[in-house]
Amino acid sequence: MAVAPTPMPPEWPALYGRDCLRLADFDAADVLGLVRLGRELKQLHQLRVPFEPLRGATLAMIFEKPSTRTRVSFAVGMQQLGGQALELSPSMLQLSRGETLEDTARVLSRYVNAIMVRTGPQANLEALAAAAAVPVINGLSDAFHPCQTLADLLTLYERFGYLRGLAVAYIGDGGNMAASWLEAAALLGMGLRVATPPGYEPDPDLVAWAKQQAELSGAGIHLTHDPHEAVAGADVVYTDVWVSMGQEAEAAARRQAFAPYQVNRLLMQIAGPNAIFMHCLPAHRGEEVTDEVLDGPQSCVWDQAENRLHAQKALLLSLLAPRHRS
pLDDT band at residue 125, thresholds of 50, 70 and 90? very high
Q: Is residue 162 assigned to a domain?
A: yes
In a shared domain, residues 112 and 217: no
Q: What is the pLDDT of residue 323?
A: 62
> How confident is the model over 69-118, as pLDDT tens digits?
999 999 999 999 999 999 998 777 777 677 888 999 999 999 999 999 99
Domain count, the chain: 2
Catalytic residues: 118, 145, 148, 240, 280, 308
In a shared domain, residues 99 and 157: no
Whether the per-residue pLDDT at 21 is higher than 80: the answer is yes
DSSP secondary structure letter of residue 119 = -
Q: What is the pLDDT of residue 66?
A: 86
CATH of the domain at 227: 3.40.50.1370
In a shared domain, residues 183 and 140: no
In a shared domain, residues 179 and 229: yes
Q: What is the pLDDT of residue 9?
A: 65
- Say what the pTM is: 0.94
Whether the per-residue pLDDT at 325 is higher than 60: the answer is no
Q: What is the pLDDT of residue 245?
A: 66
Q: Which amino acid is at 296?
A: G
Contact between 142 and 120 (Cβ < 8 Å): yes
- The rounded distance, in Å, linking the Cα atoms of 39 and 305 is 14
pLDDT band at residue 65, thresholds of 50, 70 and 90? confident
Q: What is the pLDDT of residue 280?
A: 96
In a shared domain, residues 173 and 123: no
In a shared domain, residues 127 and 164: no
- The rounded distance, in Å, linking the Cα atoms of 203 and 201 is 7
Q: How far apart, in Å, do the first and last CA atoms of the chain sit?
A: 35
Whether the per-residue pLDDT at 7 is higher than 70: the answer is no
Strands 136-140 and 167-171: unpaired
- The rounded distance, in Å, linking the Cα atoms of 299 and 156 is 12
| Mean pLDDT calculated for residue range 155-161 | 97
Q: Is residue 14 assigned to a domain?
A: no
In a shared domain, residues 60 and 192: no
Q: What is the pLDDT of residue 1?
A: 46
Quick one: three-class SS letters along 142-185?
A: CCCCHHHHHHHHHHHHHHHCCCCCCEEEEECCCCHHHHHHHHHH
- The rounded distance, in Å, linking the Cα atoms of 126 and 49 is 37
Contact between 38 and 313 (Cβ < 8 Å): yes
- Whole-angstrom CA distances from 307 to 42, 151, 155 are 8, 5, 7
| Mean pLDDT calculated for residue range 148-164 | 98
In a shared domain, residues 139 and 284: no
Q: Is residue 2 assigned to a domain?
A: no
| Mean pLDDT calculated for residue range 148-174 | 98
**Number of C-beta neighbours around residue 68 at 10 A:** 11
Q: Is residue 40 assigned to a domain?
A: yes
Q: Is residue 277 assigned to a domain?
A: yes
Provide the β-strand partners of residue 58: 84
Domain residues for the domain of 129 are 23-144+308-320
For helices 122-131 and 101-109, angle between their N-to-C axes, nearest 10 degrees: 50
Q: What is the pLDDT of residue 96?
A: 61
In a shared domain, residues 199 and 219: yes
Q: Is residue 88 assigned to a domain?
A: yes
Contact between 308 and 123 (Cβ < 8 Å): no
